Structure 1
Amino acid sequence: MPDPTRASAARRPGSLVIGVEAGSAMVEVLVATVDGMPMGAGRSGSANPTALPVAQVAGQLATAVAQALADVDPDEVGRVVVGAAGVLWFSRGTSATALAQVWAAAGLSCPVRVVPDAVTAFAAGTCARSGSVLIAGAGAIAAHVDREAVTARIDGNGWLVGDDGSGFWIGRQAVRAVFADLDRRGEPTLLRDAVLAALTGDEDVPADPAEQAETLRAAVYDGPPIALAALAPLVPAAAEAGDRVAQRIVDRAVTLLVDTAAALVGEDPAGPLVLAGSLLGRGGPIGREVARRLAGHDGGPPLRAGSGAGGAAWLAARSLAPHLGPDAHARLTGGA
């Protein structure tokens, strides 16, 4: 946690950096000293540019940045790095204008750099300048990163036509499995009660299967498609409880993610492989199995990413102090 006493101490202009992770699930912001001491943090909702209006994305960013700067003089910030899935969206037209207004409203006048989220996710797992990253959260992508640029990628094509094995993919498969249970095309599954409860808030779920199906349809189509990604944690939980339908979804998701990573790594196996995103955390069955199956990577066993905002802050700090070492990286990213 940031130390308010440290935050209020006088510092020279340019002695702080900001890292921003503008993700589909949430925005996270970290303010830190150049040598990696956290000074402020902020968090807000989704900044998915393909699913939300420009004003809403800008509003989420503004909220998180304001929280992080609450006890910090913005004149002390020397560099900002933003990791974003929709990097092109953030850098052109009205979107770029809206983003510039966020920084101006926060009182920031320093350079701001927007990079692909694959770059900050990779930086959240390693100090290395070159290697690969597999991200599986709401979306899914594998990317080769070299000197803070994506030089090759597999998937990351969005929920409509890609992101195989992602949280959205898993959530959609869960809903399909529930419909198959309800109309007797498929096996009974624990996902039926879990998904209905999640989408309706446990309110007024009818007992009749036909009415349940109608309730489910209404709930699915009332929200944005990407909202199905929030159902993803229900699937490994049901699988661990012995549900065969859920286990098949988990197995297929693992295979898709491993295939995505293998397609990229097969082209250029050099450097470390970082696993990032909510699905690939240490404690979950998907993350464990993906890591196990990718353990033979030529760059060594996969590394786990820490804080994405911390990875962005590391890039900002390294741009000001190129000789920063692993200790500063660990402080910023959580020691991943």
Structure 2
Amino acid sequence: MALGLGIDAGGTATRWRLVDQSGACIAQGTVEPLTGHLFSPAAVERARHIVTGMAQAVSQTGNPLGIIAGITGLTRETPAEATMRAILAEAFGLPQEKIFVAEDMWIAYLSYFALGEGILVYSGTGSIGYYLSEDKEVIRVGGRGNLIDDGGSGFWIAREALKAVLRAEEETPGEGWTTLLGTCLADALGGTDWNIVRSYVYGGDRGKIGSLARAVGEAAAKGDPTALGILRDAGQELARLANCLIKRLGPRPVALVGGSSRLHGIVADAFRKDLAAPVEFIASDLDAALTAARLAATLHRS
């Protein structure tokens, strides 16, 4: 049976789907985050460890004849792409020509649009605006990482929430952590002591910090005004990405996707209101790993 494996690796987790030749998903799973930032031997070894574990899990159902992987932080036609393809080939016992590796947004775009059709705005741990032309030219805005920007992302939302609570505490002790937002964050952090907060923030990675955005969504659902304001601002930040591409490319359908854009309805509402042109707005979440797997199931024919 011709099986295809699709991999969608983001900053929080790596999702895989195994499909049969009809495109039906026959197995799926989630493993640790996998990144294309293979800039050190340690990073390469970590990627190899994650992929090897994934291969062992996949093999319990069957062995794919083709793999398509979308990896966050990876750019095509770079040494990292070749390294990742070699790691996958070794782990799954496949020739490298049966493996296609690209950035995660490449796969996400094709889940929603044909080449050149629309504009994708993604908000997960990070954020990016993305366009893939008919001749496969990539135009991106944002996506420069949390140290520079990533406005409207899960990391950005978590940072803004922590900043708001800590500043309120500094101005009037007891008026930060006792708010709905403060209590939701404290539950996620495991406490309010600065040593606990500092250890969580500076002892983890961007995905761990970004996961605190769920606490902001929880507080917003309970009506916390600060949380609602942060999520409204997040929607506006994400709309800026879409507007940059609309300005450069002209009006096109726009899809707002990713877990951080689903934290509360106010994010999508603010996004839609801030769009610079009256374009078709898509807010449904599709399974990028499944799209990749279905494409991978055809690789054995080439």
Question: In the alignment, which residue of structure 2 is the partner of 1:123?
Answer: 110
1:162-207 Cα shifts (integer Å, max 9, x gaps): 211100001111111221122126964322222222122xxxx47x
Question: In the alignment, which residue of structure 2 is the partner of 1:254?
Answer: 235
* TM-superposed deviation, 1:266: 2.4
Pair 1:81–1:271, CA change in 2 (3 A):
farther
* TM-superposed deviation, 1:96: 4.0
Question: In the alignment, which residue of structure 1 is the partner of 2:92?
Answer: 106
Q: 1:233 aligns with which of 214, 223, 236?
A: 214
CA contact (8 A) 2:116 2:132 kept: yes
Alignment size in residue pairs:
295
CA contact (8 A) 1:168 1:232 kept: yes
CA contact (8 A) 1:80 1:111 kept: yes
Pair 1:226–1:190, CA change in 2 (3 A):
same
Q: 2:184 aligns with which of 161, 184, 194?
A: 194
- Match status 1:40 vs 2:27: yes
Pair 1:196–1:39, CA change in 2 (3 A):
same
Q: What residue identity is the alignment partner of 2:209?
A: L
Q: What residue identity is the alignment partner of 2:133?
A: D
CA contact (8 A) 1:122 1:305 kept: no
Q: What residue identity is the alignment partner of 1:180?
A: R
Question: Looking at both structures, which has the greater relative contact order when contacts are Cα pairs under 8 Å and sequence separation is at least 6?
Answer: 2
Question: In the alignment, which residue of structure 2 is the partner of 1:285?
Answer: 265
RMSD: 3.1
Distance 2:214 2:33 in 1: 18
Question: In the alignment, which residue of structure 2 is the partner of 1:163?
Answer: 150
Q: 2:223 aligns with which of 242, 257, 282?
A: 242
- Match status 1:311 vs 2:301: no
Q: Secondary structure at the match of 1:87?
A: coil
Distance 1:164 1:291 in 2: 13
Pair 1:320–1:88, CA change in 2 (3 A):
same
- Match status 1:86 vs 2:73: yes
* TM-superposed deviation, 1:226: 4.1
Q: 1:273 aligns with which of 254, 268, 271?
A: 254
Pair 1:65–1:43, CA change in 2 (3 A):
farther
Distance 2:154 2:226 in 1: 16
* TM-superposed deviation, 1:54: 2.7
Q: What residue identity is the alignment partner of 1:21?
A: D
Question: In the alignment, which residue of structure 1 is the partner of 2:170?
Answer: 183
Report the more deviating stretch, 55-64 or 167-176: 55-64
* TM-superposed deviation, 1:288: 3.3
1:1-58 Cα shifts (integer Å, max 9, x gaps): xxxxxxxxxx3xxx33221111111111112234412232232011134598332233
Question: In the alignment, which residue of structure 2 is the partner of 1:29?
Answer: 16
TM-score, normalization: structure 1? 0.76
* TM-superposed deviation, 1:66: 2.9
Aligned residues: percent identity? 24
Report the more deviating stretch, 288-297 or 83-92: 288-297
Structure 1 runs not aligned, ≥5 long: 1-10, 207-211, 323-336
Distance 1:321 1:126 in 2: 24
Structure 2 runs not aligned, ≥5 long: none
TM-score, normalization: structure 2? 0.84
Distance 2:169 2:113 in 1: 46
